[in-house]
Structure 1
Amino acid sequence: MKLRRPGSRTRFIGMALALLAGVAPLRAGELAVVTNRVVYPGETIAAAMLEEVPLVRGNRKLGPIFQQAGQLHGKVARRTILPGRLIPPSSVRDAFLVQAGAPVEVTLVDKNLVITVTAMPLEAGAAGDVVKLRNIDSGRVFSGVVMTDGTVRVGAS
């Protein structure tokens, strides 16, 4: 029977999730990204709002935080971010490419068949999100995946 320290599995899972999100736990001597002013929920983060500062070792353990300003540029604040404070990944989200109520181009690709229609999104979504849409002509509701170019792709069923 192998003995483990308490919480080692939890720390491992937390670090694995942080690495998948593109951020890593910091150590003393490394840089951390902070804002130079208050950023309010829903506000897009610009490069001019960010500063990279050296991390000072404290008594508490740090979770995942952003290390490079480029990782935060263009993201949207989920909650109020105070100046000089470390920014965890849960405080930001990707910008929405599709807005609810704004018509969007929807494409269905199935082998050699390509169908393109205009639909009305019922919810906002960022790249990779699944959103519900309403066909403007028929009124039917369906789901599609938001692409990086702001269109929505639907799979054949």
Structure 2
Amino acid sequence: MDRCLCPRLRAAALLLAASTLPAAAAQFVPVPAVVIYPGDVIRDGMLTEMQMPDDFAGRSAAVLDRGALVNKTSRRTLLPNLPIPKNAIGEPKVVSLNAMVRIVYSEGGLTIATYGSALQAGAVGDVIPVRNLESGLTVAGTIGGDGAVHVAPSGGPG
């Protein structure tokens, strides 16, 4: 009788010990629920969550926060249920190629504004070239939050 009971007790003890061991922790990562194409603005409804191993964050260059994806644009095609690399998303373009933009020059209390044609698309903070519609000259400026291109004062003699 001991022979029969002993293996069963050992199996029960092993099962109990295995069930009390901590399971490998996991984290949830945002992934596309649908195909997202380059230039698409990422909306919350386009994303779902996928469970990844605990060490995923340390060995991956994927975006781990859903909030960091919403209202960003895709730089390449993103496939469903695959992690989204950090370099595959960007800021949405606020100025498009050949769009009419306001050019603003400010120095001290002086502000001069005119209009130009954007020679490159860009997001807030990007430096883009713009052709002044009045003079035909090309200037470079930084896209502001207001959508205007702000030209910095030159450091020349004054």
TM-score w.r.t. structure 1 length?
A: 0.76
4+ long deviations beyond 3 Å: none
2:130 is equivalent to residue 133 of structure 1: yes
2:61 is equivalent to residue 64 of structure 1: yes
Larger Rg: 2
- 5+ residue gaps, structure 2: 1-24
CA contact (8 A) 2:27 2:54 kept: no
2:90 is equivalent to residue 93 of structure 1: yes
Q: CA RMSD in A?
A: 1.9
- 5+ residue gaps, structure 1: 1-27
Hey, what's the Cα distance between the residues in 2 that align with 1:149 and 1:64?
Answer: 32
AA in 1 matched with 2:109: N
After TM superposition, list the pairs within 5 Å mapping 1:36-55 onto structure 2. 36-55=33-52
2:97 is equivalent to residue 122 of structure 1: no
State the match for 1:151 in structure 2: 148
SS of alignment partner, residue 45 of structure 2: helix
Hey, what's the Cα distance between the residues in 2 that align with 1:56 and 1:63?
Answer: 11
Structure 1 residues 110 and 58: CA distance shift in structure 2, 3 A: closer
Length, aligned pairs only: 130
TM-score w.r.t. structure 2 length?
A: 0.76
